[in-house]
Structure 1
Amino acid sequence: MNMKLAQFYHDNRLKIGQIKEDRIFSIRFDGDLLTFIQEWPSLNISDTPLSLTEIQWLPPIHNPSKIIAIGLNYLDHVQESKGALPESPLVFAKFPNTLIGHEAKIVWDETITQKVDFEAELAVIIGKKATWISEDQALEYVFGYTCANDVSARDLQFGDKQWVRGKSLDTFCPLGPWIVTADELRDPQNLKIQCRVNGQVMQASSTHMMIFPVARLVHFLSKHFTLLPGDIILTGTPHGVGAFRKPAFYLKNGDKVEVEIERIGCLNNGCESR
């Protein structure tokens, strides 16, 4: 199954589709993309494509059992944070209420946070149940990859001394636009990754800079909790986040954020503060 798959609204219905160039072909399937991953049905694709401008994008997965995130997984990000090099993956969680799709808005209340930051990340989508799997086998359990923005309220994150609240505000995990299936992207460790705010490059790196590569992360996580189809793993962000810039840079109302990953696509989201 070599393709790009998306989830979207059209004609007041949730649909899934296959992306081909600048068009999307609906897949005739009674369910969401998570159910599609679980069931792996034979494809029944519409002959009539839709323009990408005709649809409302949804996160490719909107109801995972888990969103697992990895902190400090790029050497240059560890250095800019002045943190210690982790001996094992630093694991935390985000809640599903954070998920939004391509072209949706990142929204926050200024009475809750005034230090909203961006983090461009490669997201891994699990394809089948994984428990205590070896690193050599780990990529066989990956359904595909997409772009993510691990949006973070730094005042809450640093003030709380733990990360759940600052990482889990509504809309704080843009995901998409689509999933590139793993058979189309066999090496996730050689992808350029970039974040732009209002067209200005803020982060530019490569996934080969990860301290713990994707296969090792899947192996490590599967030893601690069972991974299920549709689970999302955010694999960490490179250097350039706003909090560690001099002076610090935070998102504001009206900003446009882009996360682009080579061979996957570009995730675009506006910002709205209230």
Structure 2
Amino acid sequence: MKLITFRHADGSRVGALAGDRVIDLHDAAGGRDMNGLIDDWPRLAGEIGAAVREARTTLPLADTKLLAPLPQPRRNVWCVGKNYHDHAREFAGSGFDSSAAQGAVPTVPIVFSKPPGAVSGPGDAIDSSLDPMASVDYEAELAVVIGKAGRVSASDDPMSFVFGYTLVNDVTSRGLQKQHSQWLLGKGIDGFCPMGPTLVTADEVHDVGSLTIACEVNGERRQHASLADLIFDIPTLIRTIGRSISLVPGDIIATGTPAGVGLGFDPPRYLRAGDSVCVMLEPVGVLENPVI
């Protein structure tokens, strides 16, 4: 199921996307937002499924405004740095890498976060003026959305914690990232975490490693990689984060970006006002954002 959060005439509500039609799930979800829907999914899944199958009235997607599937995350977005081999080498050689002590390819996952205020939705503008160093970069990433609370024990199957998958663009001020020798200030800027367009439930994705992620800037392909190329796979990331930190439903884990970021070109090819950047992965869809 492709779940969405959308704005219509009377406010924000959850729904499902079927082609170019939106199924309004507000009543079936009891008025819950996406966080609440994930919380109560074991009890609501049957009713939600029936509402999707039996939908008689739908809305044209063009008449709605898609928001981030989780427009107000409860906590910071968990992020993973240098998690594709080619990008790890690309970044290690850039002079911007404060984690270089681990070597070009990390031996353990590098985890940082983006605050909830960084989250924006499909079509929302990336404000390049918020980067005082004119060094705005893009990073296409698959994001895992957690559906079960608790710490991940040695006997747990980490994938049992997965509710579904979405996309994020881990937009970054490379200048701030380098200046402060850490990643939060360069990556946590307002609106620097576009997310969406859909949240695909885990039952729809049978083999994450078979998926391919891509990014285009102004129609030019910049990034393209298989999720099978992750250095640390999704179970490893969930276990690493959840071993000592209790996960909560609605937690978001961005799994890292492949090679081809703007920093990797000589000279760097950063985003500028007037650009359009698209992150793509089926079955999640296309996440497109203009730069202003």
Task: State which of 140, 156, 167 in structure 2 corresponds to 1:147.
Answer: 167
Name the CA distance, whole Å, in 2 between partners of 1:12 and 1:114. Answer: 38
Aligned mate of 1:59, from 68, 75, 78: 68
Aligned counterpart, 2:85: 75
CA contact (8 A) 1:135 1:219 kept: no
Which residue does the alignment assign to 1:197? 217
Residues 43-122 of structure 1: pairs in structure 2 closer than 5 A = 43=48, 44=51, 46-64=55-73, 65-82=75-92, 83=100, 84=103, 85-109=105-129, 112-122=132-142
Structure with the higher fraction of residues in helix conformation: 2
* Structure 1: 4+ residue segments shifted above 3 A: 133-136
Contact 2:152 2:243 (C-alpha < 8 Å) held by counterparts: yes
The normalised TM-score by structure 2 is: 0.89
Q: What's the CA shift for 1:186?
A: 2.4
The separation in 1 between residues aligned to 2:221 and 2:254, in whole angstroms, is: 21
Equivalent position of 2:39 in the other structure: 38
* Aligned position for 1:169: 189
Cα distance in 1 between the residues matched to 2:106 and 2:200:
29
How far is 1:39 from its partner? Answer: 1.1
Residue equivalent to 1:213: 233
- Whether the 8 Å CA contact 1:117–1:241 is kept in 2: the answer is yes
TM-superposed deviation, 1:68: 0.3
- Whether the 8 Å contact between 1:6 and 1:179 is mirrored in structure 2 is yes
Equivalent residues of 1:135, 1:218 under 8 A apart: no
1-side partners of 2:155 and 2:256: how far apart?
18
Pair 1:125–1:135, CA change in 2 (3 A): farther
1:62 alignment partner AA: P
Secondary structure, aligned partner of 1:238: coil
SS in 2 for 1:237: coil
* Structure 1 stretch displaced more, 101-110 or 161-170: 101-110
Post-superposition Cα deviations, 1:242-265, rounded to whole Å, max 9, x if no partner, equal 012111000011111000013221
Distance 1:100 1:77 in 2: 25
Greater shift after overlay, 106-115 or 159-168? 106-115
Further displaced range: 60-69 or 236-245: 60-69
Question: d(CA) in 2 for partners of 1:111 and 1:171?
Answer: 11
Give the Å deviation of 1:133: 3.3
CA distance 1:92–1:110, change in 2 (3 Å):
closer
Q: Is the 8 A contact 2:166 2:196 kept in 1?
A: yes
Among residues 2, 18, 36, which one is paired with 1:4 in the alignment? 2
d(CA) in 2 for partners of 1:104, 1:271: 9
Q: Equivalent of 2:206, from 167, 183, 186?
A: 186
Are the aligned partners of 1:57 and 1:102 in contact in 2 as well (CA < 8 Å)? yes
Residue 135 and residue 102 in structure 1: after superposition, are their counterparts in 2 closer, same or farther (change >3 A)?
Answer: farther
Contiguous gaps of at least 5 residues in structure 2? 93-99
Aligned counterpart in structure 2 of residue 255 of structure 1, from 250, 272, 275: 275
Give structure 1 stretches of 5+ with no counterpart: none
Describe the superposition over 1:66-118 as per-residue Cα deviations: whole angstroms up to 9, x where unpaired.
31000000001011123521111000010000111111111132662310000
* TM, length-normalised to structure 1: 0.95
Aligned partner of 2:97 in structure 1 is none
Identical-residue share of aligned pairs (%): 39
Give me the whole-angstrom Cα distance separating, in 1, the residues matched to 2:235 and 2:130: 39
- Between Structure 1 and Structure 2, the one with more strand by share is 1
